[in-house]
Structure 1
Amino acid sequence: MELSPIALVLLGLLLAGWTFGAVWLVLAAQKRARQARTARGMARRLTYMIEDSPAIPLLVRPDGRIEGPDRLAAWLGFDALPDYLSELAGEDAGLDADDLAHLGDAVRRTQKTASPFRMVVTPVGSRKSLALRGHQADPVVAQSGTALVWWFDFSESQSELSKLRAEAAGARTDFAALVGLIEAAPMPMWFRSDDAELRLVNSAYVKAVGAQSADSVVKDQIELIEPVDGLSAAQIAQQAREQDMPFERIVQATVGSQRRTLRVSDLPLGKEGVAGYAIDIEEMEEQARAFRAFREAQRSMLDQLSVGVAQFNADQLLEFANQPFRRIFALPGTTQLDPPPFDRFLDIARDAGRLPEVRDFPAWRKELTAIFTAGEAHEDAWTLHDGTHLRIVAQPMPDGGLVFIAEDRSEQLALSATRDTLLRTRTATFDSLFESLAVFAPDGRMQLWNRRFPEIWGLPEEYLDEHPRADELLDAIGPHLARPAQRKAIGDVVRSATLDRKQRSGRVQLSDGRTLEFAGVPLPDGNGLLTVLDVTDSKKAEDALRERASALEEADAVKTRFLANMSYEFRTPLTSIGGFAELLQSGVAGDLSDQAKEYVDAIISSVERLSSQIETVLDLTQSEAGLLPLATEEVELLPFVTQIVREREEAIENGGLSLDLRGDRSAGKVMADKRQLGRALGNILDNSISATPKGGRILVALSRRQKGVKIVISDNGQGMKPSELARALDGYRLDADGKPAKRRGGLGLPLARQLIEAHGGRLELQSEKGSGTTATILLP
Structure 2
Amino acid sequence: MSWPLARWWLRGSTVLASGLGLQAVLAGSASAQALNAGSIETFSSTEMIGFSLVIGAISATLLSTLWLVRQRNGIEAESREIRSALSDANQRISRYQALIADKNRRIVIWDGGETKPEQLGQLPVETGAPQTEADFLAFGRWMKPGSAAELDNAIEKLRFNAQSFDLIVETYRDEVLEVQGRVSGGRAFARFVALNNLRAELAELKIEKTRLTTAIETFESLLESVEQPVWQRDSEGRLVWVNQAYSDAVEALTPDQAVQENREILNTITREKIRATLTPISPFHDTVSTVVHGNRTFFSVVDTKTPKGSCGMAIDVSREEALREELSRTLKSHAETLDHLATPVAIFDGERRLQFYNQAFQQLWDLDLAFLESRPDHAELLDRLRSAGKLPEQLSWKAWKENTLSVYRSIDTQTVLWHLPNGQTLRVIASAHPQGGATWVFENLTEQVDLETRYNTLVRVQGETIDHLSEGVAVFGPDGRIRLSNPAFRALWGITEAQAAPGTHIRAIEEACAPSYEKPDGWRAFGKMITSFEDERPSSQGTIELMSGLVLDYAVIPLPNAQTMLTFVNITDSVRAERALLEKNEALRKADELKNDFVQHISYELRSPLTNIIGFTDLLKSTAIGPLNPKQSEYVDHISTSSAVLLTIVNDILDLATVDAGIMRLTYSDIDLTDLLDDVSMQMTDRLQEGGVTLEILAAPHLGDIVADQQRLKQILIKIITNAVNFSPEGAKVVLKCWREEADFVFSVSDTGCGIPEDMLPSVFKRFSSNAKGGKRTGAGLGLSIVESFVHLHSGTVSINSVPDQGTTVLCRIPSGVLVHSVAAE
Structure 1 and Structure 2 fold alike (TM over 0.5)? no
Sort the TM-score into its range (normalised by shorter chain).
Answer: 0.3 to 0.5
Q: TM-score, normalised by structure 2?
A: 0.39
What is the TM-score normalised by the length of structure 1? Answer: 0.41
